[in-house]
A and B are shown apart, each in its own frame.
Chain A
Amino acid sequence: MLYIHCPYCEEHRSEEEFHYKGQAHIARPDDPDNCTDVEWADFIYRRDNPRGEHKEQWYHTVGCRKFFNAIRDTQSYEIKTTYKVGEQPDMAAGIVTGQQGSNAS
């Protein structure tokens, strides 16, 4: 079982209190009426499927009921860090960049 740190409750809670909510930091196109189909499809459907570190959203369902972000290693399941919505991870800069956008969630 994973033991996940909620950045709002500021303590570790057991995995069964949480739900995984997909890839984090996906920016909605600024002008949906005038974006291309490819841009819209990227936003709606296309997701990364990395082997290694993945920035993702989690929801503290049976707890404070807040969404937050986590960086998890998809191979080892290790959660490197968790951070609040609107924040950037407090880690080495290398893994902060390189994903789509950064202004959402």
Chain B
Amino acid sequence: MSDRQERDQTRVWMQQLPSGDVRVESPLYHADLPSMMAINDDAGADTAGGVALAELPLQAHLVIRGRAEAPGFQESLTQALGLQVPTRLSSVSDGSQTLRWIGPDEWLLTAPASQAFDIETKLRAALPGHVAVVDVSGGNTILLLSGLHARSVLKKSTSYDVSDRNFPLGKVVTTTMGKSQAVIRRVDELGWELIIRRSFADYLWLWLQDASAEYGLSVHE
């Protein structure tokens, strides 16, 4: 029996996505964002100005650890996901899956929720050597912040330089957000993605409402 087979026999991992009859709640379930979307519609809010916020709840989030320079690691990861492995402070996306550099030996992959277990299984089979793949879907949620004043909100919330010169499209940084933290990715000219921790979601939701109040906040799907 090879080392790998022996190791696999002692490993246990599971499908963490609940089956259809179990209710799943995002960490912002209690904030009832859908009711705020209805308010936008009623008031005919101007979504071009101000700040627009959307949650991308219940996605697959996988932490991938391994040595970037280990033989075969990057090749196997690329082959399994169909994505190049992003280098320092960058990301690679195919529209469905996004892979982010978090540290020199850590990446964060997001994908549609239903794919978490399949991707995890695929990566565990594909990656050679001393690696780790962990499903952290339940620990995070994704917020999308956009609009003409989204950057102004970020400037109030983090000490990181979010100017065009320092923060081009596709760049990813983990940094402070309020008194918590976020993995921030520039998704387009006016759009920013924040990956935040479940336990800080309510705090950051309150923080972002407060920080965007002066520009006008609208909530979207």
A residues neighboring B (CB under 8 Å)? 1, 8-11, 13-14, 16-17, 62-66
Which residues, 129 to 169 on B, are CB-close (under 8 Å) to A? 159-160
User: Which residue from chain B places its CB closest to the CB of A14 in the assembled complex?
Assistant: B159
The bracket for how many chain B residues form the interface is: 10 to 19
Q: List 12 A-B contacts (CB under 8 A).
A: A8-B88, A8-B104, A9-B89, A10-B88, A13-B175, A14-B176, A17-B176, A62-B181, A64-B103, A65-B102, A65-B106, A66-B104
Which residues, 51 to 101 on B, are CB-close (under 8 Å) to A? 88-89
**A13 touching B102 by the CB < 8 A rule?**
no
**A8 touching B103 by the CB < 8 A rule?**
yes
Also in contact, A64 and B159, with CB within 8 A (given A9-B89, A13-B175): no
Within 8 Å of chain A (Cβ to Cβ): is B174? yes
CB distance from A59 to the nearest CB of B (A): 12
Report Cα–Cα, A14/B181, bound state, in Å: 13
Report Cα–Cα, A64/B87, bound state, in Å: 13
Report Cα–Cα, A10/B181, bound state, in Å: 20
Report Cα–Cα, A11/B165, bound state, in Å: 13
**Chain A residues with CB under 8 A of B89:** 9-11
Report Cα–Cα, A66/B89, bound state, in Å: 14
**B175 touching A17 by the CB < 8 A rule?**
yes
**Chain B residues with CB under 8 A of A62:** 174-176, 181
Also in contact, A16 and B159, with CB within 8 A (given A62-B175, A64-B102, A64-B103): yes
| 4 closest cross-chain pairs (CB), A and B | A64-B103, A14-B159, A62-B181, A8-B104
Report Cα–Cα, A1/B159, bound state, in Å: 11
One of B160, B174, B176, B181 near A64 (C-beta < 8 A): B174
The A interface, classified by DSSP as helix, strand, loop or mixed, is: loop
CB distance from A68 to the nearest CB of B (A): 11
**A13 touching B88 by the CB < 8 A rule?**
no
CB distance from A86 to the nearest CB of B (A): 12
CB distance from A87 to the nearest CB of B (A): 13
Report Cα–Cα, A13/B174, bound state, in Å: 11
Identify 7 new A-B residue pairs, CB closer than 8 A, beyond the known A14-B176, A63-B173: A8-B88, A8-B104, A13-B160, A13-B175, A14-B159, A63-B103, A64-B106
Report Cα–Cα, A14/B160, bound state, in Å: 7
**A65 touching B103 by the CB < 8 A rule?**
yes
**Chain B residues with CB under 8 A of A11:** 89
**Chain B residues with CB under 8 A of A16:** 159, 176
